[in-house]
Structure 1
């Protein structure tokens, strides 16, 4: 893969992941005479690094002369040297040249008039060449302090290599020579240049390695002009490019050009990347290199392309249509040329794009033959890797064998938490392979389970529906109904049908107590179906009994988490005993994916219901579990992060929250049920930050999504924010129906613990609309239903709502008392935003009750209380509320303290304190991982801060940050 074509086409505006290498090379420029060797495989970024190096040299006042070798069948003698000297142009005439420089006239005919007269012919080829060498040395020496860059010397002919050795032997005082090459292809004489350096010449060898995942993400963000991309997208790019910068640039450019990337909230999300074309420049470069191989090595390259991934040498040799001895020699040629590379004990292409380029160039019969050979060789392996075997059997046309292998591969993938791979295998078989209805039913049930875990519910539901119409045994039909119901529920589509599927399945699931109990729990959800709360409770009671029959302890924990999840929003005090059983059985540290799911289920519902401390404990423990162990749990990790984003909003931990929510939403595109918590937090945060129009649109969207998903437990949080915004805009009448619908939906279902969050906003809207009696009735009715329930926010929220009712009735003193009581109740519940709102309202009511007596006891207490609320808003970053509180304070003659500049604010083109802290550590050479560990940040957040700091400082590399701080 050439990094020489269109050398000035630099897609990324910043150099990423090469700070240490660039710093060493820049230092060598000032240590002339010097040789800098930049070595690395094709596409690794040699040209980009030398570009940054020469820019630094030019800034330091050194002349830069650059030339490159080209991939030609018969390269021009001294081609890169001639190109470099030709770069002097008319300045050549300004140099003090000796007569020997006249020997260069044949090489530089367009500049001949600037050179001394030609010398007499010597009549000897070797002597003529020596004089030409002297002439080039004379020009370079006369140019003064110079950096001579000779790129791609792996394509150099003999004379260029000889000249570089001759030039270095001269040891010119002000000269730094920079050479680049691919180690696997370079002539040994070039590789030996460092060994022949004269004393006093500094040697700097720079070997470029592929970028890691974080660096690939930073490079992609720089190309796209955003602060960061999601970890998922960075991992995807790294997997497909193996960290080669050229491949990353080409792939991102292609994805953006073809609309495969869609921008959202300043970030970039992946969409439909499974069918990926190879970028043209990568394909052409790979095929050009393969074409240079001899026929046997070409057969080996074709076999490696069909195998796709690096494989043991024995498998590659068995797949290639060659005799063993010939195949081994051919593999050696492919390795020596750099077309293939060794990955530990395996052999394959450097990155998947290269393999795909060669594969797409093969004819169909040749592919079929090689897939058949690969399948036969893999089947003989012990044990045969089922995923690879299934792939080759399918493409070899051996369909019956394919179904067996694909089923085994899907089972293995699911066991290893590779849910997306299991879904892919099963979908392919159900669409393409012959099988009996019973086997199709079994495969479809497996697909239903994997698709939920992989977040692919909508795609799989269609297939399950089709199989359900076939002739199936009753137990298998029941399991398939259960799985389809789960898919529809997870996707948030056709929830009434999902509820009916669970109801139809439950009696025929006696052979699967785990699924039977799970179905009963779903039927016990007060958010699903049209049954009354008593029927939901009956289903839940039945489920508790069936759970005891399940032999798998991890699955018992999983279902106990679901039971507690149902109990929490209803305020049923027994949820605590259920949650305690989960904590006791897991020792407070979940390990299995089912146990992690239980922590997420309870933690998110604890957030909705106001049990913030417990929610923090459970979500944190669950997230820690997804990061440890041998198996990643990406779906649960993202769901837990989404829950944490909402919890951080509720707890007032807003530093960096908007950015983290935006990244998370990109990662969860297409998964509404997992995304909705983060969407709600982001929408509410936009209101608090004062972006009212954006907040209105976002709140409306997330409320509609919650309605679609029957998410009555989450709904009160964004509804309360929307009602507050409507009152502030004088539009209370327009949202009365929304307030009525919230109570009408929540109260009959018994979802009272979360709904109490919205009670103050409902009362405020009713009062603002002039219906004070209606507000009083609503608050009294709701409060009466809370008696005996475990609803931690109830005392605070009811007092808060009662304060609005009394305010509407003109009882300012009573309103102030109720608001103050609410603030006192909110504080220990880790609800600082609500506490500040209630404190502001209490202080305002007291100030209004004694407008002419600012020295009265109530007014004297009210002033400091209002300023305390203002300080709390500023600490949170709630600019909308801070602006309102500031206006009230000034209206009542209070002196408002100047904003503390060390707190949160917009920093414009200046670095924020956190950005500066990260930038200073980066300037000291710390890696992103080291910075993240030192500052207790995520690697993604560190990458975002560094990218932002580079943009604000106007630099293009991390190494340059130090010069601007």
Structure 2
């Protein structure tokens, strides 16, 4: 399985400036299973590095498969990988080892080598299951062919299906296979990067290629010219080319046509005519102008056709004979515009092809695109609909473009590639002169593809405009409204999406399957404000009737999932039975995407109720199914739920940074981004800095309030209430607790209301009153015997606060019951808060075990890194004469109760009123380091906030 010739036409036989990168790449393939990502800008030498690797004498015989991702790739599954497999026929013919029967799934996709594969397998009814089986087959074939190296070039052009396979491969790497991918850095964030980072057998190694330095450009040019280069020439050459090896060689190639090699170093003036922004264009056009007119015309047609033009198509498009085409390609290869690869002429670089393409007059390009499309149409075999769509679009034949773009989308959808389908449909819908019927048909398909295809922002205005301007039949209008509602919800517009789906219900009466799914969405209680839980229950019952009427088992499963979620959020014990029954149901197992989504949603619902044990089990199941089904679309949700579980369990090491990344505005799912910001705000409320926690929580409240998302609006207000109370703002705490309670009361879900009632009672107590008894009684009646440890503990805590003034013993018993309940639930942080409160109460009454409870809370806070809580409990211990052990088991290293010199320096500046950024600038520290020093100082001094530093004798 030879690699084939390197991208040549290269003037230098020696690789310059890549020794460490080459050594790293060598080490990666030397220890399979392994992954390497070679990245850099266009022309930087990614392919050359890989070619150089296998040019080494000891690696020249390495078995390898090579696939090339093309910019114009048909939406067929694993196209570049299948191209690589086609070269393995001889190897398979020689092999005497039996192949895994699952490899037969590749036989229909690889007719050229099907005789060497196991018999084809019977098709599966679910396209996603079929694709998963093809993935398994590809991994089995790689395993059979090993040891080998799989090289995929230009992965930035790969289709979503190939990206999904690579993620699957990262999690199921064959023992003796190394994988090398080349990718442009300007391609942005690849969806496979996260999967590569968390691959079970170790993360991928990234080899980043930077431009050459001035000495390296000098070495490269000197080697090409065969003379020592003076800096008077090397400097301008470096400036003109930016150190990009491909551009350096192209400039030198042009100069060698004008001057003898020995004269060039003494003529830096010849570089002056090359404008910096257009240096590559200048040198490529210079090469092109050296060709005769017929050759230029043929090469222009070749650039229109693609990177590797087919000789027969090129002859037809250029209206030249095959010998004329062959001569023109040979001339272009001689001047370095083309090179030979696998026996075919190929442009040396995508940039060179683009420049040649743009050299053709616009009218000529349109004509060549049309001729190319007609030539491709006339060929036998499957229609290359993606390439036809491209050429018809640039030929100005919009109706032909739309037809082929729709066909390409249909092909992508048939293979489960929703993202590619959405891309083709969006382009088709940009055409202005579409008929109403075509526009509606395309929009309906877009609505189906865009949710999983992640084309939310682009699809929303198209569907909105269509609904506003076109008189549609009710069933179609209902389907489009439902699709729009789902898109809006995933785009973070909770209330707007919910209302769209509500409006769709009346139009879907004749389509019970779709009606059942729409009603199931409306039955989810956590998505929108001002809808009572009784309305959600009624929607769920309607959904069950619609599912029964449809006779569709998949809809029935979806509705049962919603019923379980609805009961789980209310703490109904029946939810456990329903969930267990669904997890054992083969129909759910047969739909891995539905299975994964259900488990993740249930895990979040379990956390809302404080059932950490169930949440961890459900998260593990959801993650396992998502990984096995290569379901990358839920990667962010998996990370979010994992972070939520880790926070609830007290596993906080590195959690804040994870949440910071998840909450980034570039996150795919806006709702997941908002939830992660809530988690980060709650974490900062415990770890500090408090000011940043307040800022994050207020932002979450503002966004959730604007979009109408009841979750995380209720917990954000509750968390902020608790935080403001610790900052001595009891009035602000009462205001947010009341607002959260009003939202939960309007929803009718008392599991969600419990924390806000507890916060309200604490705030009113801090204000000197004894209010909150009515709210506590209301909570007790609403909560009943709900299976919700977090809510039940909050109720017990609120009752303890109310009882304390009249019956301290009863208050202690209630609070201790809450503490034990939280301990059993594994909620370490909430348990520590309850223990601290109980310890403080007992110390204030002189009870002997109060100090032990405070020390226990101290150790728990220290293990979690809850610095703000550490500072508070230290202050309480000092006030009550309880000795503070330093260092405590599980705590962070410190200078005991004494400030380090740097902590003292930072604390003095903070006490003087300097902001964190001002302190960072003054001391040449990062802002994050300043925040850490202030948190440590507050903890050691037993202070609750930086405001107290102003009156505390830091020195």
Scaled by the length of structure 2, the TM-score of the pair is 0.62
Q: Could you tell me how far apart the structure 2 residues matched to 1:713 and 1:628 are?
A: 30
Indicate the structure (1 or 2) with the bigger Cα radius of gyration: 1
Q: Could you tell me how far apart the structure 1 residues matched to 2:754 and 2:620 are?
A: 25
Q: 2:874 aligns with which of 886, 891, 903?
A: 886
- Kindly indicate whether residue 842 of structure 2 is the aligned counterpart of residue 846 of structure 1: yes
- Flag the 1:305–1:678 CA change in 2: closer, same or farther, 3 A: farther
Deviation at 1:677, TM superposition (A): 1.8
Q: Could you tell me how far apart the structure 2 residues matched to 1:506 and 1:287 are?
A: 61
Q: How does 1:244-263 map to 2 (within 5 A)?
A: 245-246=210-211
User: Match for residue 705 of structure 2?
Assistant: 707
Q: How does 1:526-545 map to 2 (within 5 A)?
A: 526=525, 527-528=527-528, 530=530, 532-545=532-545
User: Match for residue 411 of structure 1?
Assistant: 410
Q: Could you tell me how far apart the structure 1 residues matched to 2:628 and 2:278 are?
A: 38
Deviation at 1:424, TM superposition (A): 2.8
User: Match for residue 44 of structure 2?
Assistant: 43
- Flag the 1:568–1:873 CA change in 2: closer, same or farther, 3 A: same
Deviation at 1:566, TM superposition (A): 3.0
User: Match for residue 682 of structure 2?
Assistant: 684
Aligned with 1:772: secondary structure? coil
Q: Could you tell me how far apart the structure 2 residues matched to 1:467 and 1:247 are?
A: 52
Q: Could you tell me how far apart the structure 1 residues matched to 2:795 and 2:618 are?
A: 27
Q: Could you tell me how far apart the structure 2 residues matched to 1:345 and 1:607 are?
A: 60
User: Match for residue 259 of structure 1?
Assistant: none
- Flag the 1:304–1:508 CA change in 2: closer, same or farther, 3 A: same
- Flag the 1:674–1:306 CA change in 2: closer, same or farther, 3 A: farther
Q: Could you tell me how far apart the structure 1 residues matched to 2:534 and 2:646 are?
A: 34
User: Match for residue 37 of structure 2?
Assistant: none
Q: Is the 8 A contact 1:493 1:709 kept in 2?
A: yes
Q: How does 1:314-329 map to 2 (within 5 A)?
A: 322-328=320-326
User: Match for residue 897 of structure 1?
Assistant: 885
- Flag the 1:220–1:467 CA change in 2: closer, same or farther, 3 A: closer
- Flag the 1:551–1:292 CA change in 2: closer, same or farther, 3 A: farther
Q: How does 1:707-786 map to 2 (within 5 A)?
A: 707-774=705-772, 776-786=773-783
User: Match for residue 660 of structure 1?
Assistant: 658
Q: Could you tell me how far apart the structure 2 residues matched to 1:346 and 1:812 are?
A: 89
Matched residues, number: 676
Deviation at 1:345, TM superposition (A): 9.0
Q: Could you tell me how far apart the structure 2 residues matched to 1:300 and 1:882 are?
A: 76
Q: Is the 8 A contact 1:813 1:845 kept in 2?
A: no
Question: What's the CA shift string for 1:853-912, capped at 9, x where partnerless?
Answer: xxxxx32x22222112111111111111112122222333333232369865699xxxxx
Q: Could you tell me how far apart the structure 1 residues matched to 2:807 and 2:309 are?
A: 80
Q: Could you tell me how far apart the structure 1 residues matched to 2:502 and 2:351 are?
A: 48
Deviation at 1:501, TM superposition (A): 3.6
- Kindly indicate whether residue 362 of structure 2 is the aligned counterpart of residue 367 of structure 1: no
Q: Could you tell me how far apart the structure 2 residues matched to 1:351 and 1:554 are?
A: 49
Q: Could you tell me how far apart the structure 1 residues matched to 2:712 and 2:340 are?
A: 52
- Flag the 1:362–1:567 CA change in 2: closer, same or farther, 3 A: farther
User: Match for residue 599 of structure 1?
Assistant: 599
- Kindly indicate whether residue 776 of structure 2 is the aligned counterpart of residue 794 of structure 1: no
Deviation at 1:741, TM superposition (A): 1.6
RMSD: 4.6
Question: What's the CA shift string for 1:36-93, capped at 9, x where partnerless?
Answer: xxxx9952389999xxxxxxxxxxxxxxxxxxxxxxxxxxxxxxxxxxxxxxxxxxxx
Q: Could you tell me how far apart the structure 2 residues matched to 1:345 and 1:565 are?
A: 59
Name structure 2 gaps, 5 residues minimum: 1-6, 11-15, 29-40, 51-177, 198-205, 214-237, 244-274, 896-927, 929-955
Name structure 1 gaps, 5 residues minimum: 5-9, 25-39, 50-208, 222-227, 236-240, 255-279, 851-857, 908-947, 949-965
Q: Could you tell me how far apart the structure 2 residues matched to 1:750 and 1:769 are?
A: 28
User: Match for residue 429 of structure 1?
Assistant: 428
Higher mean C-alpha displacement, 746-755 vs 837-846? 746-755
Aligned with 2:584: secondary structure? helix
- Flag the 1:625–1:388 CA change in 2: closer, same or farther, 3 A: farther
User: Match for residue 579 of structure 2?
Assistant: 579
Question: What's the CA shift string for 1:596-622, capped at 9, x where partnerless?
Answer: 222233222222222323322333333
Aligned with 1:727: secondary structure? helix
- Flag the 1:395–1:232 CA change in 2: closer, same or farther, 3 A: farther
Aligned with 2:607: secondary structure? helix
- Kindly indicate whether residue 827 of structure 2 is the aligned counterpart of residue 831 of structure 1: yes
Aligned with 2:411: secondary structure? helix
Question: What's the CA shift string for 1:722-756, capped at 9, x where partnerless?
Answer: 11211111112023222112111112322333343
Q: 1:868 aligns with which of 856, 873, 877?
A: 856
Q: Is the 8 A contact 1:727 1:765 kept in 2?
A: yes
- Flag the 1:467–1:540 CA change in 2: closer, same or farther, 3 A: same
Question: What's the CA shift string for 1:784-806, capped at 9, x where partnerless?
Answer: 10114332323322222323334
Q: Could you tell me how far apart the structure 2 residues matched to 1:328 and 1:533 are?
A: 74
- Flag the 1:323–1:287 CA change in 2: closer, same or farther, 3 A: farther
Q: Could you tell me how far apart the structure 2 residues matched to 1:315 and 1:585 are?
A: 54
Q: Could you tell me how far apart the structure 2 residues matched to 1:233 and 1:247 are?
A: 30
Aligned with 1:715: secondary structure? helix
Deviation at 1:697, TM superposition (A): 0.4
Deviation at 1:488, TM superposition (A): 3.0
Aligned with 1:505: secondary structure? helix
Deviation at 1:331, TM superposition (A): 5.0
